[in-house]
Structure 1
Amino acid sequence: MTNANARTTITTVTLNAAIDKTYYMPAFVKGKVSRAAKVVSTAGGKGLNVARVLKQLGHAEVAATGFAGGYNGQFIVNGVKEAGIRSEFVAIPGESRLCMNFIDEGDGSSTEVLEPGPVIGEDQLERFKRELQRLSAESALVVFSGSLPGGTAPALYAELIALSRAAGADVFLDTSGESLVRGVTALPSFIKPNEDEIVSLLPDSHDGDLREGIRKLMAQGIPIVAATLGAEGAVAGAGGRIYRVRIPKIEPVNTVGSGDSFVAGYAYGHVRGWPIEECLRYAAAAGSANALSETTGDVDPREHARLLREIAVEEWL
């Protein structure tokens, strides 16, 4: 087996990949015919956003896997390759989904419509597991992101995390709902729940204190717990300590994908062995830079470098 210390590849897993379509509209009025002023389409899904941002930040070896079907699936695979990411998607029958984001340029509001995606059969899932085992054996880190596709069990992420770890890879998990609740039982190295999800992970906790919730999750064996808070930055726990991350005020263009960009930034520092504070600064700058782009999961390295100088990370005692 490859020496884990010599591995440099980061593999992202997007089981329910999509074409992300962002519609910029002068006004979005329910029940009326609306015309888009501009449409931006990208190969999407949370894991692919992570992969693309990792490449933009300068990480050389990035692989992406998951399921891809039909014409939409071919668009996704082509988009991955054009971004310089190694495509390791498993082909399936059916059509990969569309995820649509309607941005009202009048008030800046965003309305998302997410298709469910294709149902995955047992044979296709077994093929994917073999592919994941191979990729994990050559990866420093495997990042699992997004929703589970139809036909799979809520405990699937927990199973896949165990598979990747057995092959010698470190593991991050960024999902929600029951798949998050089940996934954390496999003790990934990093999770990024929001405030409400921390409550769902700790149903016996009634104090509503974000810091206390993060401490309890770390005590359960999860080394890094980060909660992004939009314009308020982030709160994270690592090494038994709690950190407050403050970001500069910006005028966001499209915030979809900012959480994924945060994960990419953290992963970039994590595989390089950076201190926690530096990983968090890099992550927060990536999340903020994404919000300045019209494209989902897109970070301009120049904006990232500028924002890095304005991010404050301090221990929250």
Structure 2
Amino acid sequence: MNNIAVLGPNPAWQKTLFFDRFAYGKINRAKEMQQFPAGKGINFCRAAACHSRAVGRLVQFTGGENGDRIQTELAREGMSVFSVRTGGATRCCTTCLCRETGTMTEVIEPSYPADPAEVKMLLDYFEDALDDSGAAAFCGTLPTGTDPGLYARAAATVLEQKKPLLLDSYQNLQPVFESGVEIWLKINVEELQAMTGEKTVEAGLANVFRSSGVRFAAITDGPGKAYASDGKKICVYTIPHLDNVVNPIGCGDTASAVWASELLNGNDPFDSFRLALAAASANCLSAFPGSFSPSDADAIARRIEFSEA
């Protein structure tokens, strides 16, 4: 099975609280709480394992008690992980889910910078992970204050090894876009607008392909329409409505993992994105981010329609 070297530098210890009703400015008592490792890189690797078409080899920073918890739980999951111990503690994210309204409120603790020695160690681990991988993935933001050139330095390694890069991030990444690496870009509509300054998806995609090394681009919008393009044509996807949503966290990461896995196996990018969207929808049926039932994903995939714009 193919490997994907996943650079997910900013993980989190995730607490998810479930409320029958949630009222702002009031005392709210949760009916249930679940805790687990999360963050875009972790969710990506977990979803890749569910899809069983590629193995994510995660490279991340971890520190403090939250970092210890993350490493312990990922070992129990059997995830392939390279962790760099940092002086700063790993953040905790708390998500409040209201069953009455179906709304989500997320509280994210600050993250702390990795120092230059920790960054170098992370990049060394990433190079080792990439050596026996068919592709790379950059997932999410850097810890606040960390060397902003980290992703550019990692992209130079990807270019040297002549491997494609799934990019699930968008801020301060112009050096990555200009690096010459073959990029598979997967972001959401808001991120596309922020990155390009364009108001429509079509204009944003045109901007992306005009000014970067993107080979394929896929754009999500929650339960709304999704888009994929190879720079020549754009396909639009209609996603079926789900009545029994449990937790939407990790849907974008799931889509990235499944799409990258399918592309790495040489499959059509447009149909591969249909499978990715189905897996993302199936992820909503689980409280565990990046986790889904393949049978649920298969059933949803049969209901997703897409056509050229």
Which structure 1 residue ranges, 5 or more long, are not aligned? 1-6
2:62 counterpart residue number:
68
Deviates more, 1:103-112 or 1:192-201: 192-201
> Could you tell me how far 1:286 is from its partner in structure 2?
1.0
Whole-angstrom CA distance in 1 between matches of 2:26 and 2:192: 38
Whole-angstrom CA distance in 2 between matches of 1:129 and 1:190: 21
Q: How does 1:182-261 map to 2 (within 5 A)?
A: 183-186=176-179, 187-203=181-197, 205=198, 208-220=199-211, 221-238=213-230, 240-251=232-243, 252-261=245-254
Q: TM-score, normalised by structure 2?
A: 0.92
Cα distance change on mapping 1:79 and 1:238 into 2, 3 Å: farther
Whole-angstrom CA distance in 1 between matches of 2:242 and 2:174: 33
2:168 counterpart residue number:
174
> Could you tell me how far 1:268 is from its partner in structure 2?
1.5
Tell me which amino acid in the other structure corresponds to 1:210.
V
Deviates more, 1:282-291 or 1:92-101: 92-101
Deviates more, 1:71-80 or 1:241-250: 71-80
1:92 counterpart residue number:
86
1:58 counterpart residue number:
52
Deviations 1:212-264 (A, max 9, x none): 32123123331111110111231111152111111111122211111111101
SS state at 1:51 partner? helix
Cα distance change on mapping 1:311 and 1:117 into 2, 3 Å: same
State the percentage of identical aligned residues: 27
> Could you tell me how far 1:184 is from its partner in structure 2?
3.0
Structure 2 residue corresponding to 1:154, chosen from 128, 148, 151: 148
Contact 1:67/1:91 (8 A) holds in 2? yes
1:108 and 2:116 are equivalent in the alignment? no
Structure 2 residue corresponding to 1:81, chosen from 75, 85, 108: 75
Deviations 1:22-44 (A, max 9, x none): 11012222333222111111211
Contact 1:137/1:168 (8 A) holds in 2? no
> Could you tell me how far 1:142 is from its partner in structure 2?
1.3
Whole-angstrom CA distance in 2 between matches of 1:174 and 1:313: 22
SS state at 1:103 partner? strand
Deviates more, 1:56-65 or 1:250-259: 56-65
Tell me which amino acid in the other structure corresponds to 2:40.
K
Contact 1:154/1:182 (8 A) holds in 2? no
1:279 counterpart residue number:
272
> Could you tell me how far 1:168 is from its partner in structure 2?
3.6
Whole-angstrom CA distance in 1 between matches of 2:75 and 2:54: 13
Contact 1:51/1:64 (8 A) holds in 2? yes
Whole-angstrom CA distance in 1 between matches of 2:237 and 2:21: 34
Aligned length: 306
1:311 counterpart residue number:
304
Whole-angstrom CA distance in 2 between matches of 1:168 and 1:66: 22
Whole-angstrom CA distance in 2 between matches of 1:228 and 1:296: 17
Deviates more, 1:82-91 or 1:50-59: 82-91
> Could you tell me how far 1:60 is from its partner in structure 2?
5.3
Contact 2:3/2:56 (8 A) holds in 1? yes
Whole-angstrom CA distance in 1 between matches of 2:106 and 2:161: 37
Contact 2:10/2:39 (8 A) holds in 1? yes
Tell me which amino acid in the other structure corresponds to 1:209.
T
SS state at 1:88 partner? strand
Cα distance change on mapping 1:61 and 1:193 into 2, 3 Å: closer
SS state at 1:67 partner? strand
Q: TM-score, normalised by structure 1?
A: 0.90
SS state at 2:187 partner? coil
Tell me which amino acid in the other structure corresponds to 2:236.
R
Which structure 2 residue ranges, 5 or more long, are not aligned? none
> Could you tell me how far 1:277 is from its partner in structure 2?
2.2
1:293 and 2:286 are equivalent in the alignment? yes
Whole-angstrom CA distance in 2 between matches of 1:276 and 1:30: 43
SS state at 2:29 partner? coil
